[in-house]
Amino acid sequence: MLGSPFLLWLLAVSFLVPRVHPLTPEDFEEGEEDGTLRSPLPAVLCDYDRCRHLQVPCRELQKASPTACLCPGLSSPLQRPSPPRLGEVHVVAEDSSAVVHWCAPSSPVQQYWLLLWEGSGAPQKGPPLNSTIRRAELKGLKPGGTYVVCVVAANSAGESSLPWAGGQGPEGTAGPAFGPCGRLAVPPRPLSLIHAAVGVGTTLALLSCGALVWHFCLRQRCGCPRRAQPEARL
Ligand SMILES: *[C@@H]1O[C@H](CO)[C@@H](O)[C@H](O)[C@H]1NC(C)=O
């Protein structure tokens, strides 16, 4: 009498629980054996990294993938893209260049470009870069210069905004952290440091010579009467 409900409960537990409880590594092993159970659940994320250079858009990965995978959500293509996030900026002092990295926004993007300001000057616009690009090199920077660099994303609805409103220049700020802009400072050339050291050394040497000459001239002028006095006594 008691046996049959218990048996039913045992059956229910043994059949239902492994499919209801959260996925564990054993479930994946089971799932590999009978793949038919798992295929309607495309719980796998596509191999998409918004910060990876030459990253194919996730929608294209999805189309090309033999198994279903999930993409991060994107804003409407009828809206201009959100700003990308500027990542690492690596300055190469030897040839006064910099490599800029960024991450894609959660928006459809057709192209990117970089904007570069030096001090309060007008922005220089870089060439258009296709939507797979996440890294660009800035060449011909001035040694010892400081710049603000911003990355802009664009689609058919417009371009991403910059952290300062109304088209004003960067004015010494690089916007909030994790925004599309950052500062970069190019160190002075090692050669110009040597020049500066030689310059300082030469100046010091000239100053010392000047001081010595001045010192001896003064001594001669003051010494003449002193030397003259003993002569006068003799
Ligand atoms: C994007 O640009 C890169 C580098 O210039 C190039 O290798 C790649 O084929 C381009 N991709 C597309 C989809 O145009």
111 CB less than 6 Å from ligand 1? no
Residue nearest atom 10 of ligand 1, based on CA coordinates: 130
Residues of the chain with CATH 2.60.40.10: 85-185
CA dihedral 167, 172, 174, 175 (to 10 degrees): -60
Distance 91 CA to ligand 1 centre (A): 24
CB 147, CB 182: distance < 8 Å: no
Distance 132 CA to ligand 1 centre (A): 7
Provide the 8-state DSSP code for 113.
Answer: E
Residue 168 has a pLDDT of 57
* 85-185: CATH topology: Immunoglobulin-like (2.60.40)
Residue nearest atom 12 of ligand 1, based on CA coordinates: 130
Residue 164 has a pLDDT of 74
Residue 93 has a pLDDT of 87
Low-confidence ranges of the chain (pLDDT < 70): 1-42, 165-176, 191-193, 219, 221-234
132 CB less than 6 Å from ligand 1? yes
Token output for 226: 């002193």
Is the overall model pTM greater than 0.85, yes or no? Answer: no
Atom of ligand 1 nearest to the CA of 130: 1
Atom of ligand 1 nearest to the CA of 132: 1
